[in-house]
Amino acid sequence: MATHLRSDGTLELGGVSLESLTRGEEATPAYVYDVDAIRAEGRELIGAFEDQPHLVAYAVKANSAGPVVRALVEAGCGADVVSGAELMLALAAGVSPDKIVYSGVAKSDAELDLAVGAGPEGIGAVQIESAEEVERVAARARAAGRTCRVSLRVNPGVDADDLDTHAYITTGHDEAKFGVPLESIDAAVDAILARPELRLAGLASHVGSQLTSTDAYLVGARVLFDLAKAVRQKASLAFVDTGGGFGIDYGEGCPARPADFIRATRALQRERGLGDLALYCEPGRSMVAAHGVVLAKVLQRKVSSARRWLMIDAGMNDLMRPALYQALHRVVPLRAISGPTSAWRVVGPVCESSDDFGVHTLPDDPDLSHVALLDAGAYGYSMASRYNGRALPAEVFVSGGRVTGRTDRRPMSEWVEDRLAAGR
Ligand SMILES: Cc1ncc(COP(=O)(O)O)c(C=O)c1O
């Protein structure tokens, strides 16, 4: 939790009072991010590589706001992108093309053309996710008259049970659409080596997200490294990429820091005799989650014999993780309020039962005017939608103890005009 309780009982983020950001009708719902803390997160992780060749490819999907991506670029990160738009954004935010890897099971020809055509030599690697994709990438490289660096994203066949995380965010098991299954790796490697337009640069895997122990992370890394040893018999590799997935503490603990995951992975890499290869990783959540909150206004309360509801102006369209993954974000007041507390079920205005942020102990006092939903910096705004005609939330960027940028909520009328204009 990157928020800090001041001695006067008010909550701050990055040195800015959160209460001070709630004034005005359209002030909430709003995401607030501590940009300096995000930059420091990137630097700390990069420090864990010491003199080992490496790339920290920040997973842009977690939070693609310009100030956030630029801060991580300043820290020395590259980018992991999953669409042509994210690729364009990373390039425009100053990521050097050779520090970009592009994952995704279904890339369009136009998206592949962007990757192949970026910079003098294309991007760092197009991550090939199926044997069937090899020829598609080769064809785009041929059309551009270029050589394309690729890596094979391996599906290591790791079960959700081995990883101790939510099944919806595991990606490295047999039923997942992601990555080349182990039994097809040989054929995919041979297919790549047979295409003069392709250069096999590395092997990659990403087994899941919100892994709270280094042991869970190493389950996938172990399979990847064994495979890399075998592939090196016939192809020279430049890197192994163990993906993202470093967990954060949403309130239930995560003793491992991102740097711990890297230290453990480096040790395993050396033990497997692969220390000469560059080590890539693709963290998203762990760079940004703890450094962002959602500010919301309390609109109303409702009490029945069975339940106490606290209705806020942020909904599942603003923060989708609870509805999508049954995730629980802590909900706290912006200032200490004395007096009795109760278990309040915090819900939003969206017309869906899943618009529910869970039960939280909160003051009964009607003075509770605003709350913060903590650890919302990752997979928050980037998943927001306009469902129910709701405006996208505001975003506020804090650096050096002050607000350095903000995007206001759009007026309701904009959505109305947009929908009426459809098909015209
Ligand atoms: C290929 C790939 N890399 C990296 C990530 C980032 O994961 P995280 O945000 O858990 O670090 C994801 C997330 O799903 C992913 O699919």
- Cα of 196 vs centre of ligand 1, distance in Å, is 30
Ligand 1, atom 16: closest residue by C-alpha:
206
Query: Best substitution site from 80, 155, 205, 207 to test ligand 1's pocket, by max atoms within 8 Å of Cβ?
Result: 80
94 CA distance to ligand 1 middle (Å) = 21
Q: Which residues are catalytic?
A: 351
Q: Does domain 104-281 have CATH number 3.40.50.150?
A: no
At 51-80, the pLDDT tens digits run 999 999 999 999 999 999 999 999 999 999
* Residue 210 Cα: closest atom of ligand 1: 10
- For ligand 1, atom 5, name the residue with the nearest CA: 244
pLDDT at position 25 is: 83
The number of the ligand 1 atom at minimal distance from the alpha carbon of 103 is 1
Query: What does the pLDDT look like over 221-240, one tens digit per residue?
Result: 999 999 999 999 999 999 99
pLDDT for 344-373, tens place per residue? 999 999 999 999 999 999 999 999 999 999
**Joined tokens for residue 39:** 């930059």
Torsions phi, psi for 197 (to 5 deg): -80, -10
Ligand 1: nearest atom to the Cα of 127: 1
Task: Say how far residue 15 (Cα) sits from the centre of its chain.
Answer: 24
Determine the residue of 58, 127, 177, 282 to mutate for testing ligand 1's pocket, defined as the one with the most ligand atoms within 8 A of the Cβ atom. 282
pLDDT reading at 163 higher than 70: no
Stated length of the chain = 424
Q: Average of pLDDT values for 140-149?
A: 98
How remote is the CA of residue 379 from the centroid of ligand 1, in Å?
A: 11
Residue nearest to atom 12 of ligand 1 (CA): 244
Under the banding of pLDDT at 50, 70 and 90, the label for residue 294 is very high
Sketch the domain layout of the chain as residue ranges.
4-33+289-420, 104-281
- Encoding tokens for residue 322? 């609870």
**Rounded CA separation 292/331 (Å):** 13
Pocket of ligand 1 (CB under 6 A): 59, 62, 80, 103, 171, 206, 209, 243-246, 282-286
CATH T-level assignment (fold) for domain 4-33+289-420: Lyase, Ornithine Decarboxylase; Chain A, domain 1 (2.40.37)
What pLDDT is recorded for position 24? 87
Residue 4's pLDDT band (boundaries 50, 70, 90)? confident
Find the mean pLDDT for residues 128-152: 96
64 alpha carbon – ligand 1 mean position (Å): 13
Q: Which atom of ligand 1 is nearest to the CA of 287?
A: 11
Atom index in ligand 1 nearest the CA of residue 286 equals 11
Question: Residue 9: pLDDT above 90?
Answer: no
pLDDT in tens, 200-209: 999 999 989 9
| Mean pLDDT of the chain, nearest integer | 94
Determine the distance separating the centroid of ligand 1 and the alpha carbon of 24, expressed in angstroms. 36
Q: Does the reported pTM lie above 0.85?
A: yes
Tens digit of each residue's pLDDT (9 = 90 or more) over 370-394? 999 999 999 999 999 999 999 999 9
CA–CA separation, 108 and 322 (whole Å): 31
Dist. CA 159 → ligand 1 center (Å): 17
Which 3-state string (H, E, C) describes the chain?
CCCEECCCCEEEECCEECHHHCCCCCCCCEEEEEHHHHHHHHHHHHHCCCCCCEEEEEEHHHCCCHHHHHHHHHHCCEEEECCHHHHHHHHHCCCCHHHEEECCCCCCHHHHHHHHHCCCCCCCEEEECCCCHHHHHHHHHHHHCCCEEEEEEEECCCCHHHHCCCHHHECCCCCCCCCEEHHHHHHHHHHHHCCCCEEEEEEECCCECCECCHHHHHHHHHHHHHHHHHHCCCCCCCEEECCCCECCCCCCCCCCCHHHHHHHHHHHHHHCCCCCCEEEECCCHHHHHHHEEEEEEEEEEEECCCCEEEEECCCCCCCCHHHHHCCCCCEEECECCCCCEEEEEEECCCCCCCCEEEEEEEECCCCCCEEEECCCCCCCHHHCCCHHHCCCCEEEEEECCEEEEEECCCCHHHHHHHHHCCCC
